[in-house]
Amino acid sequence: MGNCGSNGMNAAANGEQSLPNARPGPPNAIMENRMQETFPDYTTEPSLGSKQQPVDGRPHFNIQPQKEGLPSYELHNSVDIFRNITIAANNLGMCGIQSTFDVLRQRHFEVYMDSAHTLHKDTFSAILLTALYTLGNAKAKDSDMTFYFTSYPNTKSPSLSGEKRGWIKALIKLWRTQNWPEAVQAIENDRNLKDLGFDDWLRVNNFKDSDPDEEKHFKLLNHTRQTMVPLWHGWHQRELDPDLLQALFHTALKASRKQLKSLNSVRITYERSIKHYLRNFRDLRDDPTREVAPTTILFLVGSPLQPSELNAIKLCQGEGKELFREIAQHKRQKLFGGRQKLNTEKQEPSELDRTGSQFQICTLLHTGHLDNPTIERFKEIDNFAWGDDDINDLLIVQESDILGKFLSPKALFKLFNTHHPQVDQMELARNDIYSEYQLIATFGDVNTIVVPTIKQFEVIHGIEDLDNLKGIEDSDDENDAAPIGHKPCLAKVNVVALAEGASSVIAVDTMGSAKMATGPKTEVNLWASDE
């Protein structure tokens, strides 16, 4: 686990986090009541185990978002298991990080879901399960998190102007062409493709009639995917609900089937992530006052990585390494006039040590249906750089264990906090990666796993349900002293001195005036009056 210990309040002294055996909850009585109302007690209803729906065919996993408003006897056993795992992860802190999920409000997250149609059905289910769980936590904490698919962009993204929306749609049509003549005709007939320079690309490459059409078409498809990169947008968590995310994932899988020749989605995903952040760092180099949002990329992947893709990713990472060093050198020159600062005193922790890297890619690699050479290529990406240059972390999992047990609190801590260098260096044993629970009690032909609702995640995280708060409609009239139908409220606070003496009652009305009176009060009260 590296040299990073756990917090005394949040984890055991030896750094091990034990999962709750009972039904743990926050000490606050109101929150405990909310917890009991939201989650049924399965210890008194053993029949509420994992439901099975036998059908003809091979075993299958059915991943479902929990439906809002179901009675307790219709809730699924796995919902309670996810609750226990999440509470334990919430209570897990180490490396100066107080809780696993605090980072969801501190960094921008981009979640890439591998949507290749060639995925094994278990890999598809495992990726969907982790994505739905991540979305539930992100929505509960209202994180700045965006979800992407490797084969299906959001053509209706508000970040796309009308012109750019036309470009990405034209590129998608070109990418789906099945042969060279069809692709050439598409370029000749589409003004958007000409605006993007595809007719010039055909001339510059100077293809000959003797060149194989398959080879020319393959090169064109690669160029098309590269052109898509800056136009590839996703869906922010505020635009999503669990059902929509699942439906979009299904659509993305079907979309990938429309082009069987393009196999470089993994490489494109890495390159898009790295190059997007490199653009921000170049802006930072040119304007040091510019703010660059700290970003974490979560890549849920189960597709093979080809040797040519690995080399392309390394080239892109090498470009990033040189740029980071250039920016660091630029900062030193500005601070010390190009001279190395001499300091014999104990060095303070660096910004990297205190807050973690500005940019990090964490790959959750599903290896149940990958060969060893592919796994080794992903490891090469992870080991490409060290120290300040290290922007990659790799967590290797088996689909059967994700679907059977899901991730442990330790693995969730590493997944979301890998930007911290000490967390990045943590090595988890196989037993540490998965929880101690069984999501499926007895495996059948169809095994249903249900993820908690957003409101249930809010209860787990102690988030106030804003829908239950009574508010007032704000008026656009600046002359309104108070909302219509409400009288100015006189707030009174009775403050008692610790020693003998008079207390003070401070009355503040909504217009900002205040009055003070003194008297020998001994009670402590906080109340509001409409008098």
Instruction: Decide: helix, strand or coil at residue 64.
Output: strand
d(Cα 203, Cα 183) in Å, to the nearest integer? 14
User: If we measure between CA atoms, which residue out of 366, 356, 460, 458 comes closest to residue 414?
Assistant: 356
* Contact in structure between 438 and 405 (CB atoms under 8 Å): yes
Q: Is 10 among the domain residues?
A: no
DSSP 473-498: PPPS-TT-SS-TT-PPPEEEEEE--S
d(Cα 198, Cα 205) in Å, to the nearest integer? 11
The two tokens of residue 21 are: 């055996």
Within this chain, do residues 380 and 407 fall inside the same structural domain, yes or no?
A: yes
Q: Is 464 among the domain residues?
A: yes
Q: How far apart are the first and last CA of the chain?
A: 61
Q: Is 321 among the domain residues?
A: no
* Contact in structure between 356 and 420 (CB atoms under 8 Å): yes
Within this chain, do residues 498 and 521 fall inside the same structural domain, yes or no?
A: yes
Within this chain, do residues 261 and 387 fall inside the same structural domain, yes or no?
A: yes
Give me the half-sphere count of Cα atoms (radius 13 Å) on the Cβ side of residue 7.
Answer: 14
d(Cα 361, Cα 385) in Å, to the nearest integer? 13
Other beta carbons within 10 angstroms of residue 8's beta carbon come to 9
User: If we measure between CA atoms, which residue out of 466, 410, 420, 406 comes closest to residue 141?
Assistant: 466
Q: Which residues pair with 525 in a beta bridge?
A: 494
Instruction: Decide: helix, strand or coil at residue 69.
Output: coil
- Give the number of domains in the chain: 3
Q: Is 386 among the domain residues?
A: yes
- Please tell me the predicted confidence (pLDDT) of residue 20: 40
Buried b / exposed e along 13-22 (16+ C-beta atoms within 10 A): eeeebebeee
Query: To which residue do tokens 């508010």 refer?
Result: 471
Q: Is 343 among the domain residues?
A: no
Q: Is 316 among the domain residues?
A: no
- Please tell me the predicted confidence (pLDDT) of residue 433: 96
DSSP 410-424: HHHHHHHSTTSHHHH
Within this chain, do residues 414 and 434 fall inside the same structural domain, yes or no?
A: yes
- What radius of gyration, in Å, describes the C-alpha atoms of the chain? 28
- What pairing do the DSSP bridges indicate for beta strands 235-236 and 392-397? unpaired
- Please tell me the predicted confidence (pLDDT) of residue 527: 39
Whether pTM exceeds 0.85: no
The single-letter code of the amino acid at 44 is T
The two tokens of residue 424 are: 């990045």
d(Cα 116, Cα 263) in Å, to the nearest integer? 9
Q: How far is CA 203 from the centre of its chain?
A: 42
Evaluate the CA torsion angle 273, 274, 277, 278 in order and state its sign.
negative
Within this chain, do residues 187 and 142 fall inside the same structural domain, yes or no?
A: no
The single-letter code of the amino acid at 416 is F
Within this chain, do residues 74 and 196 fall inside the same structural domain, yes or no?
A: no
The two tokens of residue 436 are: 């101690």
Q: Which residues pair with 393 in a beta bridge?
A: 362
- Please tell me the predicted confidence (pLDDT) of residue 289: 73
Within this chain, do residues 149 and 256 fall inside the same structural domain, yes or no?
A: yes
Within this chain, do residues 173 and 220 fall inside the same structural domain, yes or no?
A: yes
Within this chain, do residues 379 and 454 fall inside the same structural domain, yes or no?
A: yes
d(Cα 389, Cα 319) in Å, to the nearest integer? 11
CA angle 397-142-157, nearest 5°?
85
Q: How far is CA 18 from the centre of its chain?
A: 25
Within this chain, do residues 113 and 96 fall inside the same structural domain, yes or no?
A: yes
Within this chain, do residues 422 and 396 fall inside the same structural domain, yes or no?
A: yes
Q: Is 449 among the domain residues?
A: yes
Q: Is 407 among the domain residues?
A: yes
Under 8 Å CB-to-CB from 442, ≥6 apart: which residues?
A: 49, 50, 52
Query: To which residue do tokens 């075993």 refer?
Result: 59
Query: To which residue do tokens 């591998």 refer?
Result: 114
- Please tell me the predicted confidence (pLDDT) of residue 483: 56
DSSP 375-402: HHHHHHHHTS--GGG--EEEEEE-HHHH
Within this chain, do residues 140 and 220 fall inside the same structural domain, yes or no?
A: no
Query: To which residue do tokens 């009972």 refer?
Result: 22
Mean pLDDT by 10 residues, the chain (531 residues): 52 40 47 61 42 37 66 61 94 86 93 94 95 96 96 94 95 95 95 95 84 92 91 95 95 92 79 79 73 88 90 78 65 51 43 58 94 94 69 91 94 91 82 90 74 92 77 66 52 43 42 44 40 40
Q: Which of 207, 225, 243 is the last residue of a domain?
A: 225
Q: Which residues pair with 108 in a beta bridge?
A: 295
Other beta carbons within 10 angstroms of residue 429's beta carbon come to 8
Q: Which domain holds residue 182?
A: 168-225
d(Cα 386, Cα 390) in Å, to the nearest integer? 5
Instruction: Report H helices in 56-177.
Output: 77-90, 121-140, 162-175
d(Cα 249, Cα 241) in Å, to the nearest integer? 12
